[in-house]
Amino acid sequence: MIKHYQKFILGGLALTAVALNAYIAVPNDPVFNNLDTSVSPGTDFFKYANGGWLKRNPIPAAYSSWGIGNVVSEELRDRLKKINEDALAANASKGTITQKIGDFYFTGLDTVNIEKRGIDPLKEQLALIDEANDINGVLNAAAVLTTTGTRNMIGSRVGQDAKNSSKMMLQLGQAGLGLPNRDYYFKTDARTTKIRTDYTTNHLPAMLKISGYNDDQAKAGAESVYKIEKFLADSSRKLEKLRDPYANYHKMTIAQLNALTPDINWNTVFRSLELKSVDSVIVGQPEYYRALNTALKTFPASDWKAYLRWKLISSYASYLNNAADAESFRFSGKVISGRKEQLPRWKRVLDTENGLMGEALGFLFVKEYFPVTAKQRYTDMVEAIRQAYREHIAKLDWMSPETKQKALVKLNGIHPKVGYPDKWKDFSTLLMDRESYAGNVMRARHWAYMVNINKLGKPVDHTEWGMTPQTYNASYSPSNNEITLPAAQFTIPGVKDSEIDDAVAYGYVAASTIGHEITHGFDDEGRLFDAKGNLKTWWTPTDSVKFTKRANMLADQFSSYVVLDSLHVNGKATLGENIADLGGIVLGIDAFKKTKQYKDGKPINGLTPMQRFFLGYAIGWLGQERDEALANQILTDVHAPGFLRVNGPFSDVPEFYEAFHIKKGDRMWLAPDKRVKIW
C-alpha cells in the first residue's frame, strides 16, 4: 500500500503531507482504486477520478455505453435471474406473482415457439389496420393500437393537471416519429444524414416486409411512412422548447379541441382509447395536432396503413421472430447506438419484464437485498440535505425575504420516497400464461395502459411509485413535490453499504442524487411550481430576473463545451439538470461539513475527507459512451454527457479549487467572475 501511496503523490496531486503513521489504508476503496494519477485533477478531473476504472473496463460489444449504472444493473440482473429461475421451477398456483413471473420468463426464453409463431401474435392488429380505409378508420386503428403500447401519432396519457395538481387529466402531446426526435429529419451533418439514409432505404422497407408486405409494397410503404413522419416532425417542438411548462400547457374543452382539429372527432377517438367521461384535455403542443389534422387529409389511407403497420411491427419486434428482432437491433442498437451485438436473451427478457411488472419483482428484491439500516441512513441523509438547503436559502444575497419564505415552505413540503414503496402495486388482474411471449407483453402493456387511464377523475395516489426499487435512477416530481430514491440508486458495485465512508456517500448519494433531485424543485422549470405542485407564480418579478440571469450563465457555460465533431452541449436543453447538479454539489458539501469524518479530517489512502467527497460524486458519472450514442444523447437528451456533469459544475465550486489546489492556467480553472452560483 505504501508503494501505491508514493505513486499517488508523484502523480501530480498536491496533498497536505501526511505522516505514514497517520495514514489510513483501506484496500476495498471505491475512489482510490479508480484513480488515474497520470492525469492532473486540474486538467480533467473526470479522467483523474475515474480513468483507472475506464482503462480496465472498455465498453462491451453488446452495449453503447458502459459505466457504474451498467455494473449495478449486471448485479441486479443476476439477482433477478435467481428470482425468475426460482419462479420458473416453483409450479406456483395460477394468479400468484410467482406464477406470473415464471410464465413470463418461460415464454421469453421459448425461442422455438417464438420463431414458430412469427408475426401471428399481431394478426388482429394487422387486420384492424387493413380495414382502415378513411380518416375515421385510421384514427380508430391508431387509438386501439395505443391501448396495447404501440406508439403512433396520438400521444395520449393521464397525468396531473400542472395548474391543479390534485386533479388527474387527459393530456395530449406531440408524438408519431420513428427517428429519435425531430432534429433527425432536418440536420444535414454527415452523421445524422447517414442515419436518415439507412432509415429510409434499409430499415423501413425491411421492417414493412417482415410485417407482411411484398418488396414493392415495402418500398412504397417506406416512402409513405417517411413523408408522414417528416410532415409531423416539421410541426414538432425542439428539445429545449419542451421544457417550458407554461408554453406546453393549453387546457381545452372537447369542443375547443374539435375546433382545433375539425377533421378529428375526438369523442369517437376517446371511445376507441377506452376513455370515459372526458370533458376537457390539456394539449401540450397545439400546432402538432393542427398538423396531424392536415396530414390526415393530405395523405391517403394507404399511406397511413403503411405508417401504422410500421409502428406496430417496430413496437413488438423484440418479442417476435428472429428476423424482426435482428433488424430492429441492427438499426436501433447498431446504427443509432453503436452497439456491436445483442445482450444474451435472458438479460433482454429480464429487462422487458422489469419494465412491465418491475414492482412485482421489486417486492421480492428488497426483502433479500436492501437492509433496514441502509434505508435509515439515506432517510437521514435527505434531512441533512434539506437542512443545508434551508441554510443556503437564508444566506442568499439575491433573493428577497418574500420569495425566501415561500421557497422554505416548498422545501419543507418535499416528500421523500426512499428505497421502496410502503404500498405495493396490485397485479391481481394481470394475466400471464405460457402460450406467447408477444402475447404476454401485449397483455402487460394493456394492463399498464388501463391502470393509467383509470386514474382519470380520481384523487392523486401519493403512495404510488413511478420507479421500481431495483432501478438505478432517481427523480423529482414537480406536481407532487416529491423525490423518489430507489434502493438500487445507493449501490456502489462490489462494496457493502456499511463499508462506504461518509465522505464518499455524501458525494455519491447526498450530492449527486438527493441534493440533485431536491434542487430540481428549484431549477429553471421546477421553480415554476409551488409547494402544492401547481404551476403558479410565487416568485417576485425581480427575483425571477435575478435567477434567470444566473441560470443563463450556466447555460452559456455548458453550451461552450464541444463534445464530438461539431456537436456542442445544448446548454438550454440541459439547463435543469445542470442547475440540479451544481445545487446538489454545494448542498452536499455543506451537509458533509457537519459530519464527524469531515471534522476529524483524517485522510484515507492519502485522500482528505473533502477530496473523497468530490471523488465520491465523480463515481456517480463513472462511464464512457460510443460516439454514436454520444451524438444521439446530444440531440435527444436533457442530460449533458457524464464527464461534463463532473468537470462542468466542479469548475464553479470554491471548495473544489481548495481541495485539489486548482490554479489559473489549469483547464479546470474558471475565472471567478465566470463561476456560477445559484443556490
- Whether 2 shows a pLDDT value over 50: the answer reads no
The DSSP output letter for 472 is S
Alpha helices in 153-285 (DSSP H): 190-198, 204-210, 215-233, 254-260, 266-272
CA dist 121 to 317, 439, 442, 503, Å?
Answer: 11, 6, 9, 53
The Cα–Cα gap between 414 and 107 comes to 42
Q: What pLDDT, on the 0 to 100 scale, is given for residue 368?
A: 79
The answer to whether 128 and 429 have CB atoms below 8 angstroms apart is: no
For the chain, the average pLDDT equals 94
pLDDT digits over 84-113, tens only?
999 999 989 999 999 999 999 999 999 999
Q: What pLDDT, on the 0 to 100 scale, is given for residue 367?
A: 81
Q: What pLDDT, on the 0 to 100 scale, is given for residue 319?
A: 98
The Cα–Cα gap between 561 and 576 comes to 17
pLDDT digits over 161-220, tens only?
999 999 999 999 999 999 999 999 999 999 999 999 999 999 999 999 999 999 999 999
Place of cell 423529482: 476
Alpha helices in 414-570 (DSSP H): 437-453, 502-505, 516-520, 541-559
Higher pLDDT, 24 or 244: 244
Rounded to an integer, the average pLDDT of 447-462 is 96
- Whether 22 shows a pLDDT value over 60: the answer reads no
Rounded to an integer, the average pLDDT of 14-40 is 73
The answer to whether 386 and 510 have CB atoms below 8 angstroms apart is: no
The answer to whether 642 and 352 have CB atoms below 8 angstroms apart is: no
Rounded to an integer, the average pLDDT of 119-124 is 98
Instruction: Give the cell for residue 330.
Output: 441492427
pLDDT digits over 506-516, tens only?
999 999 999 99
CA dist 653 to 506, 539, 577, 670, 679, Å?
Answer: 16, 26, 16, 10, 11
Say which range, 76-90, 226-240, 287-301, has the weakest mean pLDDT. Answer: 76-90
The Cα–Cα gap between 362 and 424 comes to 9
The DSSP output letter for 166 is E
What is the fold, at CATH topology level, of the domain defined by 119-319?
Answer: Neutral endopeptidase; domain 2 (1.10.1380)
Q: What pLDDT, on the 0 to 100 scale, is given for residue 237?
A: 98
- Whether 316 shows a pLDDT value over 90: the answer reads yes
Domain ranges in the chain are: 1-60+370-415+482-679, 119-319
pLDDT digits over 556-591, tens only?
999 999 999 889 999 999 999 999 999 999 999 999
Query: Whose CA is closest to 281, among 498, 289, 349?
Result: 289
pTM of the model: 0.92
The answer to whether 96 and 363 have CB atoms below 8 angstroms apart is: no
Q: Looking at domain 1-60+370-415+482-679, which CATH architecture does it have?
A: 3-Layer(aba) Sandwich (3.40)
CA dist 176 to 158, 291, 315, 329, 568, Å?
Answer: 18, 12, 12, 20, 27
- Whether 450 shows a pLDDT value over 90: the answer reads yes
| Measured torsion, CA atoms of residues 257, 261, 264, 267, in degrees rounded to the nearest 10 | 10
Q: What pLDDT, on the 0 to 100 scale, is given for residue 83?
A: 92
Place of cell 427575483: 543
Q: What pLDDT, on the 0 to 100 scale, is given for residue 6?
A: 30
Q: What pLDDT, on the 0 to 100 scale, is given for residue 366?
A: 87
Strand extents, DSSP E, 294-423: 415-419
The per-residue DSSP string of 41-54 comes to: TTT-HHHHHHHHHH
Q: What pLDDT, on the 0 to 100 scale, is given for residue 23?
A: 60
